Structure 1
Amino acid sequence: MIDANRTPTRGRLASAVADVRLWFAPERLRAEGETPDYRFSLANERTFLAWLRTAMALVGGGFAVDQFLPDTNSALRLAAALTLLAGGAVCAVRALNHWVRCELAMRRGEDLPVSRFPVVLGLAVGVIALVMVGLVAVRWGG
């Protein structure tokens, strides 16, 4: 329901804050709508865990860049490591948010929420991989 006194941005912000509160209150999440078929909830959980594995891989990649490219320009190495570490953190938080939004949609009988995040993450990982290829090539070529 949209309040006529709210701007669209303010409504989205309020919705985001409400979603964050649900992260820490599973009993409130269960109070929403009807319990979906457990298979859908388990599939949602498997997707969440896949996103967490991706987040952990990004964090591990950040540490690997920092440890295994010591001869690389320190500013480049630091930027690459911090980008991977930050990407892992963003991916983990986004996974949690998406899990809650999907669970709410299933309980309410609504369409599942769409997200641009997989596309953004895929493109970012591709770009980071190309940068890593460049860093490794410079290191081995020099």
Structure 2
Amino acid sequence: MSERFPRSVYSVGSEPDPRFSLANERTYLAWVRTSLAMFAAGVALEALEVPVAPGFRAASAGVFVLLGLSALVQAWRGWARTERALREDRRLPGPSTGVVLGSGAGIAMLLLVAGVFV
């Protein structure tokens, strides 16, 4: 049998019920989609003619790009932490980045609204 990647996840514990691993993978893919949406929002703000003051628009675009990177890191870390917990029959880890992403998106939106009225 060939080695599975990443070894740090698959070399411990025993195989969990496939339904749980597949659900974990779907959550991973949802985080990747969220990441892509955040990146797209940041790029779109700079690529399109948005009636927002340039400094506010650039700041908001930067926040969205950073949030996209954060969501991508969360996707991988969350998948690995959950898969290890499943394999070791431990409690599942709690959410770690949702509040940061939600707050960041709120800040980016506030920057856009402020940029409209400046």
- TM-score for the superposition, normalised by structure 2: 0.84
Following the alignment from structure 2 to structure 1, what is the Cα–Cα distance between the partners of residues 7 and 98?
29
Higher relative contact order (CA 8 A, sep 6+): 2
- Taking the TM superposition and a 5 Å limit, the aligned residue runs for 1:1-142 are 25-69=5-49, 72-135=52-115, 137-138=116-117
Structure 1 residue runs of 4 or more that deviate by more than 4 Å after TM superposition: none
For the 8 Å contact 2:21–2:83, the answer to whether it is kept is yes
Shift of 1:71: 5.3
Tell me, yes or no, if the aligned pair for 2:57 and 2:112 is still in contact at 8 Å.
no
- Count of residue pairs the alignment pairs up: 115
Among all aligned residue pairs of Structure 1 and Structure 2, give the percentage whose two residues are the same amino acid: 36
Query: TM-score, normalised on structure 1?
Result: 0.71
Please say which of residues 37-46 and 60-69 is displaced more in the overlay. 60-69
Helix, strand or coil at the partner of 1:116: coil
Distance 1:48 1:40 in 2: 12
Instruction: Give me the CA root mean square deviation.
Output: 2.1
Gaps of 5+ in 2: none
- Is the helix fraction higher in 1 or 2? 1
